[in-house]
Structure 1
Amino acid sequence: MTVSEVTAAPPAAPPDPRRPRLDRRMILLAGLGLLVLVALARALTGATDITSGGTIGAAIGLAVPIGLAALGGLWSERSGVVNIGLEGMMILGTWFGAWGGLAFGSPWAGVVAGAIGGALGGLLHAVATVSFGVDHIISGVALNILGLGVTQYLSKLVFVGMKGGGETQSPRIPAISTVSLPFVGGPLEDLERTRWFLLADLAGLLRGLTQNVSLFTIVAVLLVPLSYYVLWRTAFGLRLRACGERPVAAESLGVNVYFHKYVAVVVSGALAGLGGAFLAIVAAGIYREGQTGGRGFIGLAAMIFGNWRPGGLAGGALLFGYTDALQLRQGGTSVHALLLVVALLLAAVGVYQLVRLGRSRAALISGIFAMLVFAVFALTDTVPEQFTSFTPHLTTLLVLSVASQRLRMPAADGLPYRRGQGK
């Protein structure tokens, strides 16, 4: 028996020949189709902000902490440890990130300190779940509570008395530099102002991706392919994933299951801590109590939406970041335009279900919901402010409900493990 056999799934049913294989070409076509739908909604509604460079840039900034938390959840759960303590680890990352930046006078020192703070939370979670066999959910909830309490105590101990600091916030943190791709910002902005169909929308997308991008954002984006390489292209990653699929079989092949679980959960905490440091150093420039705002839980949802894969969770983080950016910039107007995009997407899904897969019932349900959403769009001019503030969380619920039927979590995720239990 080889190590590769450890992660082999049980024999599955033959793939449906009508379902297209999700490769790079299909992903690019889906992205282009989505851009066309959003451009059409922009042209019909006049909500220019839904594809503006400012919205795209804000969406990326809002997606980074969610994506880092999701990436942390991926490392932990691929090793078989459920980590709903991501929120607590992010909270630790916000405080330690602010403290590190202030104590050493460098924002990058804050980045390192934020990662260390989150890693300490991950280590505590690993000790509880891996060594002592505490229920993963209970340990995660306790860590969320502990992270909030510890940072409140440390703020009173450290930030009180500092200029600009207090019990619930830190002084201003040194900023991390931003970079822009030279010579393209002006032409892209001019093209965006023309409002030409698709061309102006593409210009807004490119301007948001290439102008005033934080160096921390670039580092965070690079962590996604790096995690994919380590987990799916190295022997260490194969052993780690084996611990989340069949730990007893991995143990029989000489894999130190405890070691790999510890490494995965500590790395998970460090990544979540980086997400918290981003919020304090880049997003706000200051630590404030409660500034994570549940992003650790949204990151967990993005990881599930991405089917425990790096590319999928990155797409989920961008989706949640985009909806958050819309409600922050133009509120009800932009979210109202997004209703038309949702209606068009549901209609397209219905046509696909009927023509490609032959599922008339699913197509009918998609069509009914598409008409309902379009009716709401046609009969209203804006979306109430109370609803727009809830848009990111509603998106989380809708995405998880739609994606739930195609998900496959690691086989041993959340299951207790004891060395020698299979002997």
Structure 2
Amino acid sequence: MTTTLDRRTPEPGSESPATRRLPGWARGALWAAVAIAVLSTTSYLTGMSTLTSSSTAQTALRLALPILLAALGGLWAERSGVINIGLEGMMILGTFGAAWGAYHGGVWAGLLAAVAFGALGGLLHAVATVSFNVNHIVSGVAINLLGLGVAKYLANLLFEPISGNPRQSPPVPKFDTYSATVLSDWLAGLEEAQRVGISDVAGLLRGLVTDVTPLALLAVLFVPLSYFVLWRTRFGLRLRSCGENPVAAESLGVDVYLHKYVALVVSGAFAGMGGASLVLIPGGADYLENQTNGRGFIGLAAMIFGNWRPGGLLGGAALFGYSDGLQLSGGGQAVLALCYGVVLLLVVLVFVLLLQRRWGGAGLALAGAGALYYVYWANDELPRDLIPYTPHFVTIIVLAVAAQRLRPPKAIGARYRRGEGG
């Protein structure tokens, strides 16, 4: 018998296929082209080639991985109706699991151990929020504190006798890297030619195909895979229905508890994998105490910026990873040049809003452009103490801009008990 849950109806607040002007992949490609055009123009006008260099793109990819994986974890949890601010704690558990597993069994054993440790954190969050109906925020905070404490205890117990330092692991193996050699060499020639536009695109692309790890390929593959499972399968449809209206889902025969448990275990596994990327990727440190440095929360912000959809969170993770990679590659001058690029983007946005007769939004965009241009004009370089917090500033600004178009699942954060719908 076919139920209403089996019909592919659009979610409330989302565009229907009939009214959507462009498919999702086309809109994503368009936004990517706009971003590259803005960076290329900014690089030319400011003389800051670091904005589009292959080294910046390569660093950005490495730093975007934990954010992307944490965002995927948040997507699975919150689409089932459970807020998961415990991603940070699950990532911390993943960092320990990755170091412990890699030290004893190699990088793939480390990755599996990280997934297992993160999944255990997700399972604990499920027990608290689903079975015992604990407030989701309270449980998430507890997971963060517990993850930090458990990792610290286990590091004292297992790593100190080997490394002599309870706050870090002994050296662990890293993933091998692979490059598309022919393509990379061709792009290197274009990048070195310093042609406006062409060299910028070549530099960014070269950074994405040089010294890539299997974990990076897996992380990118999980984005379309998550979309397929959550939006194109009966299981995914039922899981999302738990986040929209669990009482109605239960009345149609959906095991709400089971779907929430599965979603949170998968969420923790993704977060643990994100922690593993901090330990097992070449260029990263071995296990260090609390080395996630808030990336779980930034991943959650990337997921919200992406409007709880896989393609959107990929763009959010790329944005935050790029801002973090830029401040490492170019320092304060490069970040200041990026402010100039944002000014150009806001000026374009002002014209678009004026054409749409959205006077209030145009005024706010113009004010923001003026403020950022003053920052660019009044400084030769941003203060060094502020540079490491570039991703956090970007997080606040992006969420403020994106807040007007967000449509979270209707029942997110709501407490639910089996049979309460009568």
TM bin, normalised by shorter chain, reads: over 0.9
| 1:361, distance to aligned residue in structure 2 (A) | 2.6
- Give the alignment's TM-score, normalised by structure 1: 0.95
Q: Tell me the matched-pair count.
A: 419
| Distance (whole Å) between structure 1 residues aligned to residue 13 and residue 68 of structure 2 | 32
Contact 2:75 2:267 in 1 (8 A): yes
Instruction: Report the 3-state secondary structure (helix = DSSP H, G, I; strand = E; otherwise coil) of the residue aligned with 2:416.
Output: coil
1:137 partner amino acid: I
Counterpart of 1:64 in structure 2 is: 65
| Distance (whole Å) between structure 2 residues aligned to residue 12 and residue 306 of structure 1 | 13
1:353 partner amino acid: L
Give per-residue Cα distances to partners, 1:343-402, cap 9 Å, x unaligned.
Answer: 0011011100011x1112321221232122223212322111122121100000000000
1:188 partner amino acid: L
Quickly say closer, same or farther: Cα 1:215–1:3, change in 2 above 3 A. same
| Distance (whole Å) between structure 1 residues aligned to residue 78 and residue 33 of structure 2 | 32
Quickly say closer, same or farther: Cα 1:350–1:141, change in 2 above 3 A. same
Q: How does 1:356-375 map to 2 (within 5 A)?
A: 357-375=356-374
| 1:14, distance to aligned residue in structure 2 (A) | 10
| Distance (whole Å) between structure 1 residues aligned to residue 319 and residue 15 of structure 2 | 31
2:344 partner amino acid: L
Contact 2:88 2:294 in 1 (8 A): yes
Quickly say closer, same or farther: Cα 1:276–1:38, change in 2 above 3 A. same
Q: Is it true that 1:3 corresponds to 2:2 in the alignment?
A: no
| Distance (whole Å) between structure 2 residues aligned to residue 151 and residue 183 of structure 1 | 43
Q: Is it true that 1:240 corresponds to 2:230 in the alignment?
A: no
CA RMSD of aligned residues (A): 2.0
- Give the alignment's TM-score, normalised by structure 2: 0.95
| 1:43, distance to aligned residue in structure 2 (A) | 1.0
Counterpart of 1:217 in structure 2 is: 216
Give per-residue Cα distances to partners, 1:255-297, cap 9 Å, x unaligned.
Answer: 1110000000000000000000111111524100011000000
Contact 1:170 1:286 in 2 (8 A): yes
The runs of 5 or more residues in structure 1 that have no matched partner are: none
Contact 2:53 2:203 in 1 (8 A): yes
Q: How does 1:395-414 map to 2 (within 5 A)?
A: 395-414=394-413
1:158 partner amino acid: L
Contact 1:7 1:241 in 2 (8 A): no
| Distance (whole Å) between structure 2 residues aligned to residue 23 and residue 218 of structure 1 | 21
| 1:25, distance to aligned residue in structure 2 (A) | 3.0
| Distance (whole Å) between structure 2 residues aligned to residue 309 and residue 405 of structure 1 | 16
Give per-residue Cα distances to partners, 1:316-366, cap 9 Å, x unaligned.
Answer: 0110000001111111111011011110011011100011x1112321221
1:362 partner amino acid: G
| 1:142, distance to aligned residue in structure 2 (A) | 0.4
| Distance (whole Å) between structure 1 residues aligned to residue 210 and residue 317 of structure 2 | 20
Identity %: 53
Counterpart of 2:184 in structure 1 is: 185
Instruction: Report the 3-state secondary structure (helix = DSSP H, G, I; strand = E; otherwise coil) of the residue aligned with 1:420.
Output: coil
Instruction: Report the 3-state secondary structure (helix = DSSP H, G, I; strand = E; otherwise coil) of the residue aligned with 1:386.
Output: coil
Give per-residue Cα distances to partners, 1:49-71, cap 9 Å, x unaligned.
Answer: 11000100110110010010010
Quickly say closer, same or farther: Cα 1:285–1:369, change in 2 above 3 A. closer
Counterpart of 1:208 in structure 2 is: 207
Contact 2:121 2:268 in 1 (8 A): yes
| Distance (whole Å) between structure 2 residues aligned to residue 239 and residue 74 of structure 1 | 15
Instruction: Report the 3-state secondary structure (helix = DSSP H, G, I; strand = E; otherwise coil) of the residue aligned with 1:191.
Output: helix
| Distance (whole Å) between structure 2 residues aligned to residue 310 and residue 11 of structure 1 | 17
| Distance (whole Å) between structure 1 residues aligned to residue 164 and residue 94 of structure 2 | 18
| 1:182, distance to aligned residue in structure 2 (A) | 2.2
| Distance (whole Å) between structure 1 residues aligned to residue 230 and residue 102 of structure 2 | 31
| 1:22, distance to aligned residue in structure 2 (A) | 6.3
Q: How does 1:101-120 map to 2 (within 5 A)?
A: 101-104=102-105, 106-120=106-120
2:146 partner amino acid: L
1:45 partner amino acid: T
| Distance (whole Å) between structure 1 residues aligned to residue 69 and residue 133 of structure 2 | 26
| Distance (whole Å) between structure 1 residues aligned to residue 22 and residue 228 of structure 2 | 22
Contact 2:10 2:16 in 1 (8 A): no
Counterpart of 2:159 in structure 1 is: 159
Structure 1 stretch displaced more, 191-200 or 395-404:
191-200
Contact 1:123 1:269 in 2 (8 A): yes
Counterpart of 2:271 in structure 1 is: 272
Q: How does 1:372-391 map to 2 (within 5 A)?
A: 372-391=371-390
Counterpart of 1:325 in structure 2 is: 325
Quickly say closer, same or farther: Cα 1:234–1:177, change in 2 above 3 A. same
Quickly say closer, same or farther: Cα 1:192–1:14, change in 2 above 3 A. closer
| Distance (whole Å) between structure 2 residues aligned to residue 2 and residue 126 of structure 1 | 27
| Distance (whole Å) between structure 2 residues aligned to residue 114 and residue 23 of structure 1 | 32
Quickly say closer, same or farther: Cα 1:5–1:233, change in 2 above 3 A. closer
Contact 1:174 1:285 in 2 (8 A): no
Quickly say closer, same or farther: Cα 1:386–1:252, change in 2 above 3 A. same
Structure 1 stretch displaced more, 400-409 or 38-47:
38-47
Contact 1:70 1:303 in 2 (8 A): yes
